[in-house]
Amino acid sequence: MKTLRTSLGLVVLALAGPVLADYPDKPITIVVPFTAGGPTDKVARDLAEAMRKPLGGQSVIIENVGGAGGTLGAAKVARAPNDGYTLLLHHIGISTAPSLYRTLPYKTLEDFEYVGMVNEVPMTLIGKPTLPASNYAELLKWMEANKGKINLANAGLGAASHLCGLLLQSSLKIDMQTVPYKGTAPAMNDLLGGQVDIMCDQTTNTTGQIEAGKVKAFAVTSSKRLTTPALKNLPTLDEAGLKGFNVNIWHGVYAPKGTPKAVTDKLNAALRAALKDPDFIKREEALGAVIITDARLGGAEHKKFVEAEIAKWGPIIKAAGQYAD
């Protein structure tokens, strides 16, 4: 959106067609509400690269605003100028935070234009390399023996890793000490160093570490086993005994409320083109992510999906019993 100054000194908003036809005429920033190098960041960086061409070669820059389970970055975008140059790439946390926080610094369904959905990504339950357990049954024994002493890393209240860990603790009825980070990239570093014991994290961050044998891998959080070579022998938590356990992370793109429809339409078209980019598809598939090809690619449909996710997770989170102010 451009502002023009009239001879009377009044500022008028110029949203006319020709101005929007130029969009984007400067770099676009995608805010990632977690630290650099983590799973959300990886998806965002790959997507930024794939969206550049359909956006006429314009640069798409990533800004990491980690903290408070993704709510700080989301709040920043909710308050950003609604001109199409500041976007948010968030995950399932946008729909679990309303149930996890008593108050949020933004309104999930009212403060954003929904651009579209990107992918679905399962999580893995992993442990530090020195953990004396090599499969889920051994992990369970170790957890029983270490009740109250287990350090469970996460990316803060409202993060996917927090949601997964919360469900894990309530299904196992084992309380753990949660250690919050601003994203699971620094949490992974501490897990590798043995400062924390276990963590749930997206396959986009764990596949390489599992493949290289740098972390212990115990299970996947999806309802079905995965086909990615490094992950295909891992049981689902459901088959390992936690009946009904199914946490599937997804990512979407959002713009501040009031971003002109012509702009969000352009962004949606660029998103659709990016999701057909063979390099992007290859990278995502290798990391266990599934690209969206259904109606949720559309902004309105994605918003409906987020509404359904808020309704789905609310009672589950309530039953697991954990909130923050």
Taking CB under 6 A as the binding criterion, the range among 18-26, 71-79, 100-108, 156-164 that sits at the site for ligand ASP is 156-164
Strand ranges, E, within the chain: 2-5, 11-14, 28-32, 60-64, 86-91, 112-127, 151-154, 177-180, 198-202, 216-220, 248-256, 290-291
Residue 259 CA, distance from chain mean position: 22
Taking CB under 6 A as the binding criterion, the range among 20-28, 98-106, 134-142, 157-165 that sits at the site for ligand ASP is 157-165
Q: Which of 64, 71, 119, 202 contacts ligand ASP by CB under 6 A?
A: 202
**Cβ(195)–Cβ(184) below 8 Å:** no
Q: Which of 55, 87, 118, 155 contacts ligand ASP by CB under 6 A?
A: 155
The site that binds ligand ASP (CB under 6 A) totals a number of residues, namely: 18
Taking CB under 6 A as the binding criterion, the range among 48-56, 102-110, 180-188, 298-306 that sits at the site for ligand ASP is 180-188
- Residues 246-265 binding ligand ASP (CB under 6 A) are none
Cα separations in angstroms, 73 against 34, 124, 222: 8, 24, 27
Q: ∠ CA(101), CA(107), CA(109), 5° rounding?
A: 115
Q: Which of 39, 84, 260, 298 contacts ligand ASP by CB under 6 A?
A: 39
Residue 134 structure tokens = 């090599």
Residue 45 structure tokens = 């960086």
Min dist CB 45 to ligand ASP, Å, is: 11
Assess 184 for contact with ligand ASP (CB under 6 A). yes
Taking CB under 6 A as the binding criterion, the range among 124-132, 177-185, 208-216, 218-226 that sits at the site for ligand ASP is 177-185
Taking CB under 6 A as the binding criterion, the range among 33-41, 47-55, 104-112, 310-318 that sits at the site for ligand ASP is 33-41
Question: Which CB sits closer to ligand ASP, 29 or 189?
Answer: 189
The label of the residue with tokens 């949490």 reads 187
- φ/ψ of 194, rounded to 5, equals 85, 10
Min dist CB 23 to ligand ASP, Å, is: 28
d(CA 124, CA 203): 6
Burial class (CB in 10 A: 0-12, 13-18, 19+), 174: middle
Q: Which of 116, 122, 127, 183 contacts ligand ASP by CB under 6 A?
A: 183
Question: Which CB sits closer to ligand ASP, 201 or 284?
Answer: 201
* Spatial CB neighbours of 230, under 8 Å, sequence gap ≥ 6: 207, 210, 211
In 3D space, the residue among 114, 119, 117 whose CA is nearest the CA of residue 303 turns out to be 114
Min dist CB 193 to ligand ASP, Å, is: 17
Assess 161 for contact with ligand ASP (CB under 6 A). yes
Question: Which CB sits closer to ligand ASP, 42 or 302?
Answer: 42
Question: Which CB sits closer to ligand ASP, 221 or 264?
Answer: 221
Question: Which CB sits closer to ligand ASP, 262 or 286?
Answer: 286
Assess 34 for contact with ligand ASP (CB under 6 A). yes
Residue-wise DSSP of 126-159: EE-TT-S-SSHHHHHHHHHHTTTT-EEEESSTTS
Cα separations in angstroms, 12 against 9, 26, 76, 85: 9, 21, 25, 19
Min dist CB 164 to ligand ASP, Å, is: 8
Q: Which residues bind ligand ASP (CB under 6 A)?
A: 34-35, 38-41, 91, 93, 154-155, 159-161, 183-185, 201-202
